[in-house]
A and B are shown apart, each in its own frame.
Chain A
Amino acid sequence: MKKCVGFIVICLLALTVFSANAGEIKVGIYGTLTGTDTDVNGMSYGPKDYLTYVNEKFGGVMGHKYVPVLLDGKNQIPEEVKVFKRLVDVENVVVVNGWSTGGTKALRDQINTLVKVPFQAQSLSSDVLDPVKYPYIFLVGPTYEDQVIIAMKWAKQKGAKTFAFMHADIEYGRSPCRNAVEQKIPDKLGIKVLADIEYPGGSIDLTPQLLRLKDLNPDYVYIQDSVNNTIKILRDAAKVGVPAAKFIGNCYDFSHIIPETLGKDAEGFKAIQINADWGENIPMMKEIEEFAKKHEIAKKDTYYTKGWVQGKIIHEAVSRVLKKTGGKIPEISQFRTMMRDEWEKLENFDTGGGTPPLTYKDHQGHTQARILEIKGGKYISVSDWIKTK
């Protein structure tokens, strides 16, 4: 019996040690698979599935197969730091697709000076966007502050004069709203911010905050939060008599779960779209549909399509590196540096309609977004694509 157990243990250890073969390109992904904000974690499954799709459809990249390694960062800084170390040290990944704003900030020294690994951030915080200070960090789309500008510009066109912010008492919530005010974005657009209403991230009931909002009666309310809390806001807004039409959510509020959950109470709610939705008539969706014939898709939403776009970006940068090396996989640190350089050179990269064409000189990809509104239980576009830069 003891010999049998010993043999199994040795086999398992051998499997772990010899799991990385030559000709494999490991790509690290960590997201919140069990932590908070799992309602938008399709972003982590998207790149994994796209790289699997490339393996199956094209046999990988120049004969080399991708090995996507998806781990759970639980949306907690220590856990994300741990997972990052495993990805870059144990798995030897060539690129990391990471999650939270706090985690990305905690890791910024490691990413840019100690390890020097290209890092695709799911966070859209302007605090981690700086090609000079953080040459290895890349975003996909308008920052949270850009999105505030886009929402305010649209509201201004509709004659809005007053605004209010609502967000949770976490960095993702507070910082962008504060940054927007400090950068005098509302002042420049001639909009007065009546209040910055904060609530505990795990609140079950937001009635007190919404009663205050009702008293202030701003023309529009900007929600810097994700689906779960936004549902609570709209639910309690309906309860106290504030119409959903007053609210504009950021890009993490564009979810069909909102009208499905709230029904009529969500009518008129607006959200910002920065990439294609699930099911749109675009070439990229054909790829996803093809992949879905053989595989189960974890989350059929706009966040998954964002992740699919991110997979495309990674694949493009890797392909360009391998073209330069004649198909030979470089030594890992050289591979990471070359990938960063090629990534930065991407210009008008076509994502098959997933996003506007991407240019990475500024590490942001694009700065466009449009406003969608829930009408008859569905999101309908109510603006053209608005650019911030």
Chain B
Amino acid sequence: MYIIFIAIFLAFPFSLFKYTKYILFLVNMTAIGVIGALGLNILTGYTGLISLGQAAFMGVGAYTVAILSTKVGLPLWINLPAAGVITTVVGIIVGTPSLRLKGFYLAMATLASEFLLEYVFKNWESMTHGIPGLYITPPKVFGIHINNDRVFYFFAVTLAILAVLCTRNLFRTKVGRAFIAIRDRDIAADLIGINVFKYKLVSFAVSSFYVGVAGGLWCYYMTIINPEAFQLSISIDYIAMIIVGGMGTIYGSVYGSIFVNLLPEAIQRLMEILQPVLHLEYTFAAFKQIVFGLIIVIFLIFEPKGLSEVFSRIVKRISSGGERR
């Protein structure tokens, strides 16, 4: 089973006889999305802490990579972990109000961090180069230049798989179970001896590490970063990913990232094909947005537990020979 999986992973970028760059771009963006969504899912889905600072945390990771690459000249294998570590520190600072705040109030506190960090990106010019941002040259790993979609695929997808495996293992440990206990009922968790504040901060730290790495990867892939790239809408996209994929499930982050990254493409293609019949002309682009929004709303009404629940149900039905209970 694992051999087949590895074979598919290795052969995939070479099996594309057409549209290679475009398809690999979508796959790479999805892989980055998976890492970021896993981070948010650890915090929101597993620990029950709502965060609207996802975009800003990604920005911290991206700027760390860009600054270390351009100003210090460090290699990728130092920069990427550093992106995670620096974002972890920022995450712990931002997570401190979670001692007293939860729910919407915590969401507001993280939203404040979004604006604060955006301000820093824009105005700490000696480091971030302000509004024009920073431009980095594609890095080298073991002498291989990561300047095309195919090489980046191996790099990003491997990291995404690693992130999934690490997250899966995390929830087999005491720490992961403490997160779940806090999410389910923090008072009860406190009563059974879990240090709620400590584990909330640990959750912020772990989550921020993932998000920082995702931001660093994003920076390496885009080769340019500026404050415009880390707006609130990115945070909303990530929240959509984990809700649609399935809160509190590891594969939900994967499905959510695929859904949010690929559904607009699918709608775009379908609309283009239907264009001669629909005659939408100038309202076409807006119509696409409406369809995307509508699909998400319909999805949430009929399947609020997300795609992971849908897939697990399908798998159960297949394994039980298609019998309905």
The chain A residues found within 8 Å of chain B, CB to CB, are 12, 15-16, 33-34, 45, 71-72, 76-78, 81-82, 85-86, 88-90, 102, 105-106, 109, 114, 127, 169-171, 173-175, 296, 298
Chain B contacts with A in 254-306, Cβ cutoff 8 A: 268-270, 273, 281-282, 284-286, 288-289
Tell me the bound Cα distance from A298 to B135 in angstroms.
36
Does B224 contact A82, Cβ atoms closer than 8 Å?
no
B22 in the interface (beta carbon within 8 A): yes
Q: A12-B273, A169-B122 are in contact. Are A174 and B222 (CB under 8 A)?
A: no
| Chain A residue at smallest Cβ distance from B286 | A34
Tell me the bound Cα distance from A296 to B281 in angstroms.
9
Does B131 contact A171, Cβ atoms closer than 8 Å?
yes
Majority-rule SS of B interface residues: helix
B195 in the interface (beta carbon within 8 A): no
Majority-rule SS of A interface residues: helix
CB pairs A–B below 8 angstroms (27 shown): A12-B270, A12-B273, A16-B273, A33-B284, A34-B288, A72-B285, A76-B228, A77-B224, A78-B29, A82-B25, A82-B26, A82-B29, A85-B21, A85-B22, A85-B25, A102-B224, A105-B132, A105-B135, A105-B224, A106-B223, A114-B148, A170-B228, A171-B132, A171-B226, A174-B131, A175-B132, A296-B281
Q: A175-B132, A298-B282 are in contact. Are A34 and B289 (CB under 8 A)?
A: yes
**Taking the nearest CB of chain A, how far is it from the CB of B108, in angstroms?**
18
Instruction: List the B side residues contacting A16 at CB < 8 Å.
Output: 269, 273
Tell me the bound Cα distance from A34 to B18 in angstroms.
29
Does B19 contact A89, Cβ atoms closer than 8 Å?
yes
B107 in the interface (beta carbon within 8 A): no
Does A89 contact B132, Cβ atoms closer than 8 Å?
no
Does A90 contact B19, Cβ atoms closer than 8 Å?
yes
Does A171 contact B273, Cβ atoms closer than 8 Å?
no
B229 in the interface (beta carbon within 8 A): yes
**Taking the nearest CB of chain A, how far is it from the CB of B30, in angstroms?**
12
Would you list the 5 A-B pairs with minimal beta carbon distance, nearest first?
A: A33-B285, A89-B21, A106-B224, A174-B131, A89-B22
Does A127 contact B147, Cβ atoms closer than 8 Å?
no
What count of chain B residues pass the 8 Å CB interface test?
Answer: 35
Does B282 contact A45, Cβ atoms closer than 8 Å?
yes
- A77-B229, A78-B229, A102-B226 given; 16 more Cβ-contact pairs under 8 Å: A12-B270, A16-B273, A34-B286, A72-B288, A78-B29, A81-B222, A89-B20, A89-B21, A89-B22, A90-B19, A102-B224, A109-B223, A114-B148, A170-B228, A171-B133, A174-B132
Tell me the bound Cα distance from A298 to B284 in angstroms.
12
Instruction: List the A side residues contacting B226 at CB < 8 Å.
Output: 77, 102, 171
**Taking the nearest CB of chain A, how far is it from the CB of B182, in angstroms?**
34
Instruction: List the B side residues contacting A34 at CB < 8 Å.
Output: 285-286, 288-289
Tell me the bound Cα distance from A85 to B222 in angstroms.
12
B130 in the interface (beta carbon within 8 A): yes
Tell me the bound Cα distance from A78 to B222 in angstroms.
8
Instruction: List the A side residues contacting B147 at CB < 8 Å.
Output: 114
**Taking the nearest CB of chain A, how far is it from the CB of B267, in angstroms?**
12
**Taking the nearest CB of chain B, how far is it from the CB of A45, in angstroms?**
7
| Chain B residue at smallest Cβ distance from A11 | B273
Does A170 contact B131, Cβ atoms closer than 8 Å?
yes
Most A C-beta atoms less than 10 A away, residue of B25, B148, B270, B285:
B285
Tell me the bound Cα distance from A186 to B122 in angstroms.
25
Tell me the bound Cα distance from A16 to B227 in angstroms.
37
Instruction: List the B side residues contacting A12 at CB < 8 Å.
Output: 270, 273
Tell me the bound Cα distance from A114 to B29 in angstroms.
19
Most B C-beta atoms less than 10 A away, residue of A33, A114, A173, A296:
A33
Instruction: List the B side residues contacting A77 at CB < 8 Å.
Output: 222, 224, 226, 228-229
Does A296 contact B282, Cβ atoms closer than 8 Å?
yes
Instruction: List the A side residues contacting B284 at CB < 8 Å.
Output: 33
Does B22 contact A174, Cβ atoms closer than 8 Å?
no
**Taking the nearest CB of chain A, how far is it from the CB of B211, in angstroms?**
16
Instruction: List the B side residues contacting A102 at CB < 8 Å.
Output: 133, 224, 226, 228-229
Instruction: List the A side residues contacting B223 at CB < 8 Å.
Output: 106, 109
Tell me the bound Cα distance from A40 to B256 in angstroms.
34
Instruction: List the A side residues contacting B281 at CB < 8 Å.
Output: 296, 298
| Chain B residue at smallest Cβ distance from A100 | B228
Mask of B1-44 contacts with A, CB within 8 angstroms, 1/0: 00000000000000000111110011001000000000000000
Tell me the bound Cα distance from A281 to B186 in angstroms.
73
Does A15 contact B131, Cβ atoms closer than 8 Å?
no
| Chain A residue at smallest Cβ distance from B268 | A71
Tell me the bound Cα distance from A170 to B226 in angstroms.
9
